[in-house]
């Protein structure tokens, strides 16, 4: 497309953040499509501006390198003036290769002056692919956080709101703080949205040129915006109102719309988290009777697995058998309230059974100050403002002997798949995307671009060891940690899958008198301090997935010469990608480092995903048989493959349900 055909940029629209831009989906009705056509004034410029981007990354890198010396000679003010002058050019010409090279060269120079780091060629390459709307695969430790500043600045300089999305509050805050001086130097303000922030502050943060937020905060803000807009007429009404000048504050929304997103740890957000739909709920006034819950728990405790109910641990589903139902009917005969209807009583008992058999303390949730708080399994963090649906949360509270909190009812529901497909322009980055590249292409339409390593990896993999029992595993882990930390003076990171497991290994280390730090959902306020010390000589750190993705452990003095950080993986995850993320904490950016896995046949993944094979291997080990490595590797592959396949099935079912629900809701007028 030639520049003369590109629509002129309309800064006024964006300055006031007027249109709530987002992409409409095909299944919406004619009035939605008409509304979208009206909103096209907001969408078209960004699309058109990006459309002119041509040429390969190599040319861009050469051009940025060539522009470097001249920019280096400029004073700070002159450099800022260059950035200011580039803005109208970007608006006029769009993201042509030359303009992008200028923007990237400016960002690189400004970064050198403000944060003391200059983008590597690999990061320029990655930045270019992000701008093109790709899923960028860059190995762990290659500096994705820094790489994202390039497209973020380029798009923000052109005047479009940019969202940089990370997986947890710690990373959102850390990245916004670290990169803030660079953005401000270029005249761009930066906002950050974290858990517990009031609405006004959120609106302010989203009004910034570049906003850092977690996927969860963003999704819930979007959901709340949709609910706020619901009472205000159809989408067509809203579009007309927007064109008439209503901004977020007048509309009661916080976001300015969904323009350009750079999603960090994209495989986690796009794939792993896509398993759970996001549900916005409100407290139900009618105080639910805890008595029914207690009755249900008493009844459920007396039921026998296999006879009265069947349990699918992996899918987290449980159902009554015919014998169970008969017993329930007899039990409910004299009771009132929800017990009188078949649906009511079966749901009560199902929730009670789930609370008893599917949800475990210190794995799926923790109890903090008399409250049940959900632990996000993929990030290892607590989610204090989330609760399980349909009375399950209260049932778990009752199981723990706590006072049940008020029950909440669903207001709106959304999946990440739907949310991210609504961005006008979307990109993502990850260290571990290869296995899910196809799924991401199918669901989100993103092509993958792989950026090569800057320096060859020096990671030494010491392989894996299988032991028969969990107790034995912790002893072996403690042996290895002791030898490396005390013997070689190297820092050791021990990764566990649950809070419970982290506490078990911590107890074994304590019993041996080995000092160590513990990082899990119960200790999350010490996170930055624990991470800051985790690379010091002889330091042992035990952590759940909290120290997985994104965590950057800096090596202390003399550590590289001693061999770098050593990572011990103590349980395979459902997805190999999460294992690679943990291992990716060591040997970053060409540093030395090593890893090993010490796992037990009692681990959940083997019990749930390869019970027969794991049982046979356990018996052979007990009999003292030495099993060949390839057989054990096959066991691991089989278990993880089964887990990944099941997870994939759940995600696809979720997406399908989401589409069906959307159609249904369109009839009742209660879409999100």
Tell me how far apart the alpha carbons of residues 203 and 255 are, in angstroms, rounded to a whole number: 6
What are the structure tokens assigned to 522, written together?
């119960």
For ligand ATP, the closer of residues 179 and 303 by Cβ is 179
For ligand ATP, the closer of residues 168 and 570 by Cβ is 168
Residue 144 marked in a binding site: yes
For ligand ATP, the closer of residues 144 and 292 by Cβ is 144
Min dist CB 135 to ligand ATP, Å, is: 14
Residue 141 marked in a binding site: yes
Min dist CB 169 to ligand ATP, Å, is: 15
In 3D space, the residue among 528, 515, 470 whose CA is nearest the CA of residue 496 turns out to be 470
Min dist CB 71 to ligand ATP, Å, is: 16
The DSSP secondary structure of 26-83, one letter per residue, reads TTS-HHHHHHHHHHHHHHHHHHHHHHT--S-HHHHHHHHHHHHHHHHHS-HHHHHHHH
For ligand ATP, the closer of residues 114 and 589 by Cβ is 589
Tell me how far apart the alpha carbons of residues 651 and 634 are, in angstroms, rounded to a whole number: 25
Q: CB count, 10 Å around CB of 652? A: 15
Look-up of token digits 């969408």 = 43
Min dist CB 483 to ligand ATP, Å, is: 26
Tell me how far apart the alpha carbons of residues 418 and 225 are, in angstroms, rounded to a whole number: 15
Min dist CB 647 to ligand ATP, Å, is: 21
**655 Cβ contact partners less than 8 Å away, ≥ 6 residues apart:** 274, 415, 417, 443
Q: CB count, 10 Å around CB of 104? A: 26
Task: Give the DSSP H or E segment for 129.
Answer: helix 121-131
Min dist CB 122 to ligand ATP, Å, is: 9
In 3D space, the residue among 570, 615, 566 whose CA is nearest the CA of residue 475 turns out to be 570
For ligand ATP, the closer of residues 204 and 589 by Cβ is 589
Residue 123 marked in a binding site: yes
* Residue ranges binding ligand ATP (CB under 6 A): 117-120, 123, 138, 140-146, 431, 549-550, 552, 584, 588-589
For ligand ATP, the closer of residues 366 and 567 by Cβ is 567
Tell me how far apart the alpha carbons of residues 527 and 666 are, in angstroms, rounded to a whole number: 44
Radius of gyration of the chain from its Cα atoms, rounded to whole angstroms: 27
Residue 137 marked in a binding site: no
For ligand ATP, the closer of residues 111 and 236 by Cβ is 111
Residue count of the chain, please give it. 672
Q: What is the DSSP letter of 515?
A: -
Min dist CB 588 to ligand ATP, Å, is: 6
**530 Cβ contact partners less than 8 Å away, ≥ 6 residues apart:** 517, 518, 519, 523, 541, 543, 547
Min dist CB 144 to ligand ATP, Å, is: 4
User: β-strand 365-368 against 371-376: which pairing, if any?
Assistant: antiparallel
Residue 145 marked in a binding site: yes
Tell me how far apart the alpha carbons of residues 440 and 516 are, in angstroms, rounded to a whole number: 39
Q: What is the DSSP letter of 406?
A: P
User: Are 628 and 620 spatial neighbours (Cβ–Cβ below 8 Å)?
Assistant: no
Instruction: Kindly give the interhelix angle for 290-301 and 392-399, rounded to the nearest 10 degrees.
Output: 70
Min dist CB 30 to ligand ATP, Å, is: 44
Can you list the alpha helix ranges (DSSP code H) found in 284-429? Answer: 290-301, 322-332, 342-357, 392-399, 416-421
Min dist CB 123 to ligand ATP, Å, is: 6
Can you list the alpha helix ranges (DSSP code H) found in 488-546? Answer: 499-511, 527-533
CA 32 to chain centre: 30
For ligand ATP, the closer of residues 142 and 574 by Cβ is 142
For ligand ATP, the closer of residues 138 and 546 by Cβ is 138
Tell me how far apart the alpha carbons of residues 425 and 134 are, in angstroms, rounded to a whole number: 10
CA dihedral of 202, 172, 107, 153, whole degrees rounded to 10: -40
Residue 552 marked in a binding site: yes
For ligand ATP, the closer of residues 140 and 253 by Cβ is 140
Min dist CB 352 to ligand ATP, Å, is: 41
Tell me how far apart the alpha carbons of residues 341 and 502 are, in angstroms, rounded to a whole number: 44
Residue nearest to ligand ATP (CB): 143
Q: CB count, 10 Å around CB of 503? A: 16
For ligand ATP, the closer of residues 120 and 474 by Cβ is 120
For ligand ATP, the closer of residues 556 and 584 by Cβ is 584
Min dist CB 587 to ligand ATP, Å, is: 11
In 3D space, the residue among 457, 141, 407, 146 whose CA is nearest the CA of residue 282 turns out to be 407
For ligand ATP, the closer of residues 120 and 423 by Cβ is 120
Min dist CB 451 to ligand ATP, Å, is: 10
Residue list for the binding site for ATP? 123, 141-145, 552
Residue list for the binding site? 123, 141-145, 552
């Amino acid at each position: 497309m030639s520049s003369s055909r590109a629509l002129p940029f309309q800064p006024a629209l964006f300055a006031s953040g007027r249109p709530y831009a987002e992409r409409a989906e095909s299944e919406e009705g004619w009035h939605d499509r008409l509304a979208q056509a009206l909103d096209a004034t907001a969408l078209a410029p960004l699309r058109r501006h990006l459309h002119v981007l041509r040429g390969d990354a190599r040319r861009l890198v050469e051009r940025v390198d060539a522009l470097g010396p001249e920019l280096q000679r400029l004073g700070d003010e002159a450099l800022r003036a260059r950035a200011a002058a580039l803005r109208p050019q970007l608006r006029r010409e769009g993201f042509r290769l030359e303009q992008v090279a200028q923007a990237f060269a400016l960002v690189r120079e400004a970064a050198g002056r403000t944060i003391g780091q200059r983008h590597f060629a690999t990061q320029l390459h990655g930045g270019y692919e992000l701008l093109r709307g790709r899923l960028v695969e860059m190995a762990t430790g290659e500096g994705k956080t820094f790489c994202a500043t390039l497209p973020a600045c380029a798009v923000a300089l052109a005047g479009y709101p940019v969202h940089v999305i990370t997986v947890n509050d710690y990373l959102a805050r850390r990245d916004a703080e670290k990169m803030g001086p660079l953005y401000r130097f270029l005249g761009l303000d930066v906002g950050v949205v974290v858990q517990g922030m009031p609405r006004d502050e959120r609106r302010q943060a989203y009004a910034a040129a570049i906003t850092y937020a977690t996927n969860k905060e963003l999704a819930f803000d979007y959901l709340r915006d949709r609910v706020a807009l619901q009472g205000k007429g159809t989408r067509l009404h809203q579009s007309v109102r927007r064109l008439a000048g209503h901004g977020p504050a007048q509309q009661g929304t916080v976001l300015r719309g969904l323009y350009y997103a750079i999603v960090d740890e994209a495989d986690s957000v796009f794939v792993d988290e896509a398993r759970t739909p996001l549900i916005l709920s409100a407290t139900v006034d009618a105080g639910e009777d805890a008595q029914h819950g207690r009755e249900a728990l008493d009844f459920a405790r007396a039921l026998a697995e296999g006879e009265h109910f069947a349990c699918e641990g992996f899918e987290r589903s449980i159902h009554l058998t015919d014998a169970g139902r008969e017993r329930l009917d007899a039990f409910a005969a004299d009771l009132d309230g929800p017990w009188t209807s078949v649906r009511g009583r079966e749901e009560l008992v199902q929730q009670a059974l789930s609370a008893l058999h599917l949800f475990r303390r210190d794995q799926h949730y923790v109890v903090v100050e008399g409250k049940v708080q959900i632990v996000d399994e993929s990030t290892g963090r607590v989610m204090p403002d989330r609760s399980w649906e349909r009375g399950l949360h209260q049932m778990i509270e009752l199981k723990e002997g706590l006072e049940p909190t008020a029950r909440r009812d669903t207001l709106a529901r959304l999946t990440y798949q739907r949310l991210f497909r609504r961005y006008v322009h979307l990109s993502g980055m990850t260290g571990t995307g290869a296995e899910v590249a196809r799924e991401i292409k199918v669901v989100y339409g993103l092509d993958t671009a792989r950026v090569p390593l800057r320096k060859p990896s020096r990671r030494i993999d010491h392989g894996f060891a299988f032991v028969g029992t969990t107790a034995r595993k912790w002893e072996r882990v403690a042996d290895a940690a002791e030898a490396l930390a005390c013997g070689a003076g190297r820092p050791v990171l021990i990764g566990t899958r649950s809070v419970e497991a982290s506490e078990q290994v911590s107890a074994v280390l304590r019993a041996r008198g080995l000092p160590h730090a513990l990082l899990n959902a119960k200790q999350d306020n010490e996170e930055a301090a624990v991470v800051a010390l985790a690379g010091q000589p002889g330091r042992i750190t035990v952590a759940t997935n909290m120290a997985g993705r994104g965590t950057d452990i800096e090596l202390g003095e003399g550590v590289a010469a001693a061999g770098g950080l050593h990572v011990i993986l103590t349980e395979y995850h459902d997805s190999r990608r999460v294992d690679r993320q943990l291992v990716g904490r060591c040997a970053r950016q060409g540093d030395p480092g090593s890893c090993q896995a010490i796992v037990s046949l009692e681990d959940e993944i083997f019990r749930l995903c390869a019970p027969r094979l794991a049982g046979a291997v356990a018996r052979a080990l007990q009999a003292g048989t030495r099993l060949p490595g390839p057989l054990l590797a096959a066991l691991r592959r089989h278990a993880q493959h089964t887990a990944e396949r099941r997870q994939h099935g759940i995600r696809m079912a979720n997406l399908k349900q989401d589409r069906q629900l959307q159609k249904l809701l369109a009839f009742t007028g209660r879409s999100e």
